[in-house]
Structure 1
Amino acid sequence: MTTVLRSVLYMPGANDRALEKAKSIPCDGLILDLEDSVAPEAKPAAREAVCAAASSGEYGRRTVTIRVNSLGTEWHDADLAAAAKAGPDGIVVPKVNSAAEVLGLVEAMERAGAPEHTRLWAMVETPQAIFNAREIAAASDRLAVIVMGTNDLVKELYAEHVPGRAPLLTSLSMALLAARAAGVQILDGVYNDVKDAEGFLAECAQGRQMGFDGKTLIHPGQVEPANEQFAPSAEAVEDARGLIEAFESAGSGVATYKNKMIENLHVESARRTLTIHDAISALG
């Protein structure tokens, strides 16, 4: 079954109202955050609240994950153990830099009793992680998603946030190649200006064209545009059905559709489009 992750929204773990509001937001996924959005003194209480929320069963069809604090911090071990026991769909770990770290995280999850359905989501957000992305993505069957941490990556590169993201394109492409080679999903990073609707749509379109499965978000207002941008359009669905029908009717290795030669690789892409469309339709 295809897991749809067009829109994955960060929600601050220390904010009870935000955790409640998340139950009605039409996003595909939630990242209940214990890291950047939570002050140090609030982290123990946020950990308790987030784990209770994740295990409540009150978020419907949404994919619910918990972002723990990163390896090496004073909160990481307790976060990971508590999140594993809560049994969300995924545990999001910031700044994963190597395959060895992936294996250590998976071992810690299993030691803490994480159920089989709780997968690891690794954030890739440093130059070291980009160079190790292929090994990270392929390190464990328990790793299901790569999450781009573009804000940290910009900082680490001494780069700038600019329209078109030219300073990040190499890193985005390398991580995307790694995810596809390993057969795991990959989410684009956040867009910081929540009032810039035009810029957000442009970045969603860029991410979709590159091949990302969806986008991480920081505001509920970004959810519906992301859902639309990362879903196959009605025209794409119609073309996929027509292409498959033309290929099957031809009864040979090649055929034509709308004056273009098509072969099996085009059919595979068309079937993927329909699989995604059907999975989105099933969400209701």
Structure 2
Amino acid sequence: MQPQNVSTVTEFQLLGFQNLLEWQTLLFAVFLLVYFLTIAGNVVIISAVSQDARLQSPMYTFLKHLSFLEIWYTSTTVPLLLANLLSWGQAISFSACMAQLYFFVFFGATECFLLAAMAYDRYLAICSPLRYSFLMSPDVCTKLVAISWLTGVGTGLLPSLMISKLDFCGPNRINHFFCDLPPLMQLSCSDVYATEMAIFILSVAVLCICFFLTLVSYVLIVSSILRIPSASGRTKTFSTCGSHLAVVTIYYGTMISMYVHPEVHQSPEANKVISVFYTVVTPLLNPVIYSLRNKDFKEAVRKAMRRKCSIYGGRV
């Protein structure tokens, strides 16, 4: 007698924040506002960098790609979260769930690689200014960006394929606001040990290595800053690098606490709170930290706004 396929689940139901029913309306308003500001902020960055000739350095090229990625990264999870808050439980098909999982891992991994490349770029600019134009030429910058995206594409394949091969016999209720790895493995009726270990090793390879390289870059930057004779120069550079390191630490810290461990059985409520930081908060913080505090960028935004206002004013 042939064994039957026990993967009978054809759709999942995302529970979201059903434990906070009395806060659903407020949460919807807050997440909608944050999502709008995230999209608007990153669109402004892309427009300003694309239109201003002064913002064509490798740093702004990385920033433009990071902003483009953040738009899609947050759009992978937040719209479904907003729909869930309105409907108190959102159904998602098995194939759509696997697609969401793939794009979430793909964009998340790509962000890690881009953040590491941006830290390396800042290290070269501050620690090796005389060789910077040679070491970080437009060709090198393009290759680093391409490697980041292509590696992200490959990174997303392994977890999504392994999860899609698991058996799901029921129940089908995911105690999360998107199709994430830990709650999906908890629902499976298969032996998930091999999947857990593969995802653990992949998480260590991507998150810990990228975070280590980023951290080393900033340590070398700080050591170089300490040699700057001007107190005002040290303060300005410290402020910029400190802000960068703060948002990087939030992103990596929450991601590592979620995925870099062999056990997946953690508190679902804690998982949801941690996930909010890297799916909702950091995509909003990145445009603020990396660009809106930059003098050249703010001037480019003012110039672009004046141009648009003059165009629309002339039409009226």
Q: TM-score, normalised by structure 1?
A: 0.25
Per residue, is there more helix in 1 or in 2? 2
Q: Which is bigger in relative contact order (C-alpha 8 A, separation at least 6)? A: 2
Structure of larger gyration radius: 2
Q: TM-score, normalised by structure 2?
A: 0.23
Per residue, is there more strand in 1 or in 2? 1
